[in-house]
Structure 1
Amino acid sequence: MEGCQQTLESFSWRAESIYPDREIVARTHEGKQRYTYSEFTDRTRQLANALDSLGIEHSDRVGTFCWNHDRHFETYFGVPNMGAQLHTINPLLPDSHIQYIVEDAADKVLFVDPSLAEKLASAYDPDAFESVEQFVIIGSTVPDLPLEPLTDYESFIEAEPTEYDWPNVSQDDMAGMCYTSGTTGKPKGVEYTQQMMWSHTMAMLTPQGLGIQDSDVVMPIVPMFHVNAWGMPFAATAAGAKQVFPGPAPEPADIAHLIEEEGVTIAAGVPTVWLGLLEYMEENECDLSTLDSIVIGGAAAPKAVIEQFDEFDVSVVHAWGMTEMSPVGSVANLTHDLQDAPYETQLEKRGKQGIIVPGLEFKVIDDDGREVSWDGEAFGELLVRGPWVTTEYHERPEANKADFEGDWLRTGDIVTVDEDGYIELVDRADDVIKSGGEWISSQELENAIMAHDKVSEAAVIGVPHERWQERPVAMVVVSEEVDRESLTEELKKMLRGEYPKWWLPDGFNYIDEIPKTATGKFSKMDLREQYGDEELLEENAPTEAAPGDR
């Protein structure tokens, strides 16, 4: 006998029924806004009625081009609860990618932030946007832009009733969609069923996930256009937690003020967000007393960042995932037998990508397809499978063939697994450096270099070498007053104490900024295109040791 369907509507129903007065707060273009779950769910029903009136039907796609705020949050439930599919679009992508994504997804409606309207207009192409029947500005005024037809959000929903009979949506219906950033080709569309998003949410609520509770105040700084803000808006709603949305392009000061003013207990973002906050705190008084934990994903969390937040009694929770995984796959929570371990042991575990969350399975294979040992040393590619892991891309059969083995997703991440089951990302398959037949982890070198207090950012790339195939070169960002020659010697000395000689970068190249991808990660592809030639080796110190010289 089949039970109830596993759908998102159950989460919003629970929040409205049990926590009707719990607050939702948003920093917006028009100032800070706040309302309750009861008012929020009324507005999601108005939104569903408005989409119905427009003719949006089951499985139609509704796109968003928005930052993190309350109106974007309304689409998170209003769209999938009516049986349509929410497609969050990354506004930081190149215009050509945005055109491809809108055309490929065939979006019927696009919700757009005022500050992003000109960006969308610059990407607008009548052929690529042929499917779009309505543009909606998330604001009180409608700008003069070539987006037709165009209205504002309040006008779009205000005349609609707050009652709506939600349909019996199947757990197999598509609820969400997000495209990969397309750093190695065209972006790939990943679709999420109701059941995938429901399962991911339940995993995030467990103590071995993020452990969100109704007493929490949750602030996702990770963009809502990037893989459902790591699923936090859904998990917080399911838990009945207060939610705080930081709005358009928040600066460190905005983040600090929201934590203080709203009593944030858990927040999430990429490492650069937290590096920025730490720098801000060096010159400004900040009260982080309510903040229990921050979730770091998207890139490895430098141990120095973990240690600095420990000083403020804020726990850094390291997590890993992918667009294809809805997205969280592992979380670096400490197991019970590590609770009393020495601090350095705990720090080592917390700096890894963590333990696979309940509900997923993984394996690590070598170049011959054999599983590697869990000894913390053997490298291999990570494969995962589970109820919220996709098994195909939207209309991309050639990518399906390359990236999936049955129900296993080939992540493209090179990892080791220690004897306690903690996964550690060594590198992306495209970024790991192979020198003289041996692997060098660019990511591990980057984290070590960024641990130096004079270094703001660092990325390590492999450049061609006539004898050794590839050699590592470090691209480093420092402030103008830093003596770069002295720093180079300090970095070399520091790395010699931690790594074999053949791991040491053959050059330290100082640049103004590390280029970023549309999701805020370091763009190794751009660095390789700009700097990846042997001149960097010739201009800097020669190779200090052969890869075989241990």
Structure 2
Amino acid sequence: MTGLTIRPFFWRPTNLFPETRLVSRTHDGIVDSSYAEFGERVRSLIAALADRGFGPGDRIGTFGWNHHRHLETYYAAPLSGAQLHTINVQLGDNDVVYIVEDADDDVLFVDPGAPFETIERLWADLPVEEVVVMDETVPETEVDAVAYEALVAEYDPIAEDDLPELEEDYPAGMCYTSGTTGRPKGVEYTHKMIYAHAMMVMTPAGLDISERDVVMPVVPMFHVNSWEFPYAATMAGATQVYPGPAPDAADLLELIEREDVTLTAGVPTVWIDLLEHVDEHGGDLSSLERIVVGGSAAPEKMMRRYEDEFDVTVEHAWGMTETMSIGSVSRPKARMTDRDRSRRYEKRRKQGLLSPGLEMRVVDDSGEEVPWDGDAAGELWVRGPSVATEYYNRPEANEEDFKGEWLKTGDIVTVDEDGYVEIVDRAKDVIKSGGEWISSIALENALMAHDEVVEAAVIAVPHEKWQERPLATVVTAEDGDPGEAELRDHLQKTLDQPDWWLPDEIRVVERIPKTATGKFDKQGLREKLDVIDVETGDR
């Protein structure tokens, strides 16, 4: 073994914290195990992969939710010398076929139920050799499939000294972007990238994970390495709780109460739903210390409620597939402790300080860096040991999205005098009205600060005179009925912006479409409202 690989991430918990618990919600109930059992099972799976001819140069796809078998595959695949490729279980059929073909996966590890039914339906179009059903049995099927538990039971664990030799530049992981602006793009991660990113996430300047934590990653394991929790939490020796297939707010609350979860993570909509569930049914969140949110901006109203009512800190983070997820975390600096609460929230609601090991630039349309004054906006560029420098099999996208070692993120941001990054908008979502920018994110956050608004999404609609104007959609609370005039008045009082920022129309809708990872699906919203994209002419 040479260099920085995930081998120590496997050795440390299995040897130093063998009794620490791993808890997994499955379709059959709760599975309670330990790092000692995890180590044995991973080494059995490595032996099974080797015997079936899978190893260095092969790509092992997974199509499943958050549970102990998926965690074991997270380690067995790269420790065998192969590359782990996580695939979003909520993608449409066409995207699944495209991604599996583009990645050229050799074998798929698939959850029972809906994920397996998808693969079964698409089997004739998929190039894989075999399917491993992550369960005790295989349903009656024409798919060439074997049960996960049968594999683990059949093979004796490979000895630690006999694990394959690894190099830090071996491909270890792979994930595809969401594809909201075109075909999904593959991003590959080497052992060295995973090592660097997991160590970054563990630090106090990152997510500060230690063996005292009980960690429940709600962010899906099929999404950007589950924000690095399966590697960082395992390396730390933390107790881990995996919430299983399609967890809802009731499932999450039950696990928090049952396992005394201290740290969890997911997109803001998950935690908005949990608050609504607790409001209606009650619940005990006393063990919970921190919630890490990302994917979209967290409403300050939600952050304050968790802090005021449950003594839970909501920490903003930012990242993307190309940065292996976490690229910044927002918490006030030590010297800001004595500031009043409103000034601390000015920092906390931003995307925060860049993670250790990363560097950034913020550049305008001419490529010149903008000042860090909290007002000047530009595109965020980042580089570092965990940042991708190219896409898999997409040379045309490489020229557009990378400049040497720099990743051009597509996020329009400001940076204040203390170095805190705040995303103004995605380049594709910023509203360009009369030559000026309007931030859809700022409008959404302001709308969700209204007591009777649960969710809000703002999109651009074409305008003959101003090119684009904002249109807002809101989901109101069950007992709420704010009129458009009331919401407009609320925006005027909340936003420190001129009146032309205000949406021309605010529509109340029953629901706002979301992507497979819980973000607001603005393309889906445009289609639902039959709105034409001004630049592309698409709906």
Q: TM-score, normalised by structure 2?
A: 0.96
Q: Which residue is 1:65 aligned to?
A: 63
| Aligned mates of 1:297, 1:184 — CA distance in 2 | 20
**Structure 1 469/122 Cα, relative in aligned 2: closer, same or farther at 3 Å?**
farther
Deviations 1:364-398 (A, max 9, x none): 00111110111111110000000000000001000
> Deviation at 1:253?
1.0
Paired residues of 1:202 and 1:235 also in contact (CA < 8 A) = yes
Q: CA deviation at 1:530?
A: 3.4
User: Is the Cα–Cα contact under 8 Å of residues 447 and 487 in structure 2 kept in the other structure?
Assistant: yes
Measured after TM superposition, the shift of residue 144 of structure 1 is 2.7
Find the aligned partners of 1:427 and 1:364 in 2 and give their Cα distance.
14
Question: Out of 347, 350, 375, which is 2:348 matched to?
Answer: 350
- What's 1:307 paired with? 304
Residue 156 (1) aligns with residue 156 (2): no
Kindly provide the amino acid, as one letter, of the partner of residue 413 in structure 1.
D
Is it true that 1:140 corresponds to 2:136 in the alignment? yes
Aligned partner (choices 215, 218, 221) of residue 218 of structure 1: 215
What per-residue deviation string (whole Å, max 9, x for no partner) do you get for residues 237-294 of structure 1?
Answer: 1111000000011111111111111011100000011001000110223111111100
Q: Deviations over 1:152-198 (max 9, x none)?
A: 11112211012331122000000000001111111100000000000
| Residues 45-96 of structure 1: per-residue CA shift (max 9 Å, x gap) | 0000111111012020001101000000000111101110000000111110
Which region of structure 1 is more displaced relative to structure 2, 280-289 or 319-328? 280-289
CA distance in 2 between partners of 1:52 and 1:119 (Å) = 27
The corresponding residue for 1:188 is: 185
Partner of 1:10: 8
CA separation of 1:533 and 1:85: change in aligned 2, threshold 3 A: closer
Other-structure match for 2:168: 171
What residue number does 2:375 align with?
377
Question: 1:145 offset after TM fit, Å?
Answer: 3.4
Q: 1:290: which partner in 2?
A: 287
Structure 2 CA distance, aligned partners of 1:427 and 1:123? 38
8 Å CA contact retained: 2:2, 2:168: no
1:241 aligns with 2:256: no
Which aligned segments of 4 or more residues in structure 1 are displaced greater than 6 angstroms? none
Alpha-carbon distance in structure 2 between the residues aligned to 1:461 and 1:31: 41
Contact 1:449 1:458 in 2 (8 A): yes
Give the distance between the partners of 2:140 and 2:153, measured in 1 at CA: 22
Which segments of 5 or more consecutive residues in structure 1 lack a partner in the other structure?
Answer: 535-550
| In structure 2, C-alpha distance between the alignment counterparts of 1:513 and 1:11, rounded to whole Å | 42
Query: Cα RMSD between the aligned structures?
Result: 1.4
Residue 21 of structure 2 aligns to which amino acid in structure 1? Answer: E
Instruction: Give unpaired runs (5+ residues) of structure 2.
Output: 533-539
Picking from 40, 45, 48, the partner of 2:46 is: 48
Which residue number corresponds to residue 33 of structure 1? 31
Determine if contact 1:99/1:125 at 8 Å carries over to the other structure. Answer: no
What secondary structure sits across from 2:520 in the alignment?
Answer: coil
Number of residue-to-residue matches in the alignment: 527
Whether contact under 8 Å (1:121, 1:146) holds in the other structure is no
SS in 1 for 2:483: helix
Distance verdict in 2 for CA 1:122–1:46, change over 3 Å: closer
Equivalents in 2 of 1:396, 1:227: separation in Å?
19
AA in 2 matched with 1:211: D
Aligned partner of 1:97 among 95, 98, 105: 95
Q: How far did 1:7 drift?
A: 0.8
Deviation, 1:518, is 2.2
Do the aligned partners of 2:270 and 2:518 also contact (CA within 8 Å) in 1?
no
What is the SS of the residue equivalent to 2:12? helix
Deviation at 1:468, TM superposition (A): 0.8
* Mapped partners of 1:146, 1:477: distance in 2: 44
Q: How does 1:440-479 map to 2 (within 5 A)?
A: 440-479=438-477
Amino acid across the alignment from 2:270: V
> Which residue of the other structure, out of 302, 316, 324, is the alignment partner of 2:314?
316
Q: Deviations over 1:415-468 (max 9, x none)?
A: 000110000001000000011111000011001101112112111111111111
Alpha-carbon distance between aligned partners in 2 of 1:530 and 1:288, rounded to the nearest angstrom: 37
Deviations 1:478-528 (A, max 9, x none): 256543xx4312211111122310100000112221111222211111222
- SS for the counterpart of 1:254 is helix
| Mapping 1:66-145, distance limit 5 Å | 66-121=64-119, 124-127=122-125, 129-130=126-127, 132-145=128-141
Indicate which of 485, 488, 491 corresponds to 1:492. Answer: 488
Alignment-derived partner of residue 232 in structure 1:
229
Structure 2 residue matching 1:305: 3-state secondary structure = helix
Asked if 1:418 is matched to 2:416, the reply is: yes
In structure 2, C-alpha distance between the alignment counterparts of 1:449 and 1:119, rounded to whole Å: 40
Aligned residue in 1 for 2:387: 389
**What is aligned with 1:197?**
194
Check conservation: 2:83, 2:172, Cα contact below 8 A. Answer: yes
Aligned to 2:264: 267
Give 2:136's aligned amino acid. Answer: S
Partner secondary structure for residue 45 of structure 1: helix
Deviation of 1:141 (Å): 2.6
CA distance in 1, matches of 2:241, 2:381: 34
Question: CA distance change for structure 1 residues 4 and 122 in 2, over 3 Å: closer, same or farther?
Answer: closer
Distance in 2 of aligned mates of 1:98 and 1:262: 35
Percentage identity across paired residues of the two chains: 54
| Aligned with 1:276 (options 268, 273, 276) | 273
Q: Which amino acid aligns with 1:398?
A: E
**What is the TM-score with the length of structure 1 in the denominator?**
0.94
For each residue in 1:308-340, what CA deviation from the matched residue of structure 2 results, as whole angstroms up to 9, or x when unmatched?
110111111100000001111100022111122
Change (3 A) 1:249 1:365: same
Cα distance change on mapping 1:291 and 1:374 into 2, 3 Å: same
**Preserved contact between residue 464 and residue 532 of structure 1 (Cα < 8 Å):** no
Pair 1:123–1:355, CA change in 2 (3 A): farther
The match for 2:434 among 433, 436, 452 is 436
Note the alpha carbon deviations across 1:94-133, whole angstroms, 9 max, x for none.
1101001101111111111112345423651524x12x11
On the 8 A contact 1:199/1:388 being kept in 2, the answer is: yes
User: Would the aligned equivalents of 2:89 and 2:115 in 1 still touch at CA under 8 Å?
Assistant: no
The one-letter code of the counterpart of 2:26 is T
Aligned in 2, Cα 1:151/1:37: closer, same or farther, shift over 3 Å? same
CA contact (8 A) 1:426 1:444 kept: yes
Which of 242, 251, 276 in structure 2 is aligned with 1:254? 251
